[in-house]
Amino acid sequence: MNHLLSIADLERADIERIVAQAERFAEVSDRDIKKVPALRGRMVLNLFYEASTRTRSSFELAAKRLSADVVNFAASGSSVEKGESLKDTVLTLSAHKPDAIVLRTPWAGAAELVSRWCAAAIVNAGDGKHEHPTQALLDVYTLRRRVGEIDGASIWIVGDVLHSRVARSNALLLGALGVEVRLCGPRTLMPREAQALGPTVKAFERFEAAVEGADVVMMLRIQTERLAGAMIASTREYARTFGLSARTLALAKPDAIVMHPGPINRGVEIDSELADGERSVILEQVTNGIAVRMAVLYLCAGHQPEHVISSTE
């Protein structure tokens, strides 16, 4: 692997390799000495054009647990304020010879573009509404750990599917693994081409219709500040129609588990008790994110660097 740009790029074998590597790294975070020397002396740059507690820190910790050195760049407080373009920022940082650049931007396709401009391994940590591949990988890893075999399982992804890179990456990844994916959300927040994400992906307009027999319920974050009044009537109305409550969860399988990429809006897309309940794996997702990101960084940046620009096609 040279980069992790999108789920769409991955072969089944790549997916299995990442998950297997994550399994090997998982126990590192439980040790007293939470480090392995796998990337000692390597440099990982976190280049974040959007604020993010969980993703930035997850990558930073993952890199440090591999003994890499980490340098963080937030878009504010940098030349970006002076109007430097993404390309020039990347070319400059790339001239510092990092081994990997972890990139989050509001622009769909940015990770792929950046991978053409520099020799470092590029790891997409979210590019606009396009993809968030490590989130999908950690979700699959979490499912495997919790549910076991997921072939043939039925997963229900609910919320603002239209704007969600998490939904998109998960639909692609779960579809590739033969999982039945049911996308569901308000008409205004559903993409037209939902079905196009894979042969096992279906779109539903009513929550109750989607949920029957679901093994997993994955709730998406609703951007209340941005959507209320524009795309949804109100957060209260949204919570009533598309929020996960004990009543709606009862329609799924009795042992169905609850996932959410975080940060959660308690009382909007998910009831507080369910978020904290025993069927919730939300915090396991966070913990597993470290192992999966360690695996991705190791597989992308741990080999002998070749300083060759590798295309993603």
69 binds a second copy (CB under 8 A): yes
304 binds a second copy (CB under 8 A): yes
Q: Which residue has the tokens 């300083």?
A: 307
Q: Which is nearer to a second copy, 88 or 208 (CB)?
A: 88
The window from 102-110, 208-216, 240-248, 260-268 that contacts a second copy (CB under 8 A) reads 260-268
Q: Which is nearer to a second copy, 21 or 55 (CB)?
A: 55
- Tokens representing 126 are 């979210």
CB of 37 to a second copy, least distance (A): 10
Binding mask 208-227 for a second copy (x = CB under 8 A): ----------------xx--
Q: Which is nearer to a second copy, 17 or 54 (CB)?
A: 54
80 binds a second copy (CB under 8 A): yes
28-47 binders of a second copy (CB under 8 A): 29-35, 40-43
Q: Which is nearer to a second copy, 118 or 190 (CB)?
A: 118
Choice from 11, 13, 77, 306 touching a second copy (CB under 8 A): 77
108 CB neighbour count, 10 Å cutoff: 14
Distances (CA, A) of 93 to 61, 83, 87, 99: 21, 16, 10, 11
277-296 binders of a second copy (CB under 8 A): 283-284, 286-287, 290
The window from 66-74, 107-115, 184-192, 233-241 that contacts a second copy (CB under 8 A) reads 66-74
Query: Amino acid letter at 195?
Result: Q
How far apart (Å, rounded) are the C-alpha atoms in residues 56 and 159? 24
- Tokens representing 50 are 């959007």
Choice from 1, 60, 141, 219 touching a second copy (CB under 8 A): 60
251 binds a second copy (CB under 8 A): no
How far apart (Å, rounded) are the C-alpha atoms in residues 288 and 142? 7
Greatest CA separation for the chain: 55
Instruction: Say if CB 112 and CB 2 are below 8 A apart.
Output: no
- Tokens representing 215 are 């093994």
CB of 194 to a second copy, least distance (A): 26
CB of 300 to a second copy, least distance (A): 14
Residues that bind a second copy (CB under 8 A): 29-35, 40-43, 51-54, 57-58, 60-61, 64, 69, 71, 73-74, 76-85, 88-89, 91-97, 99, 224-225, 262-266, 283-284, 286-287, 290, 304-305
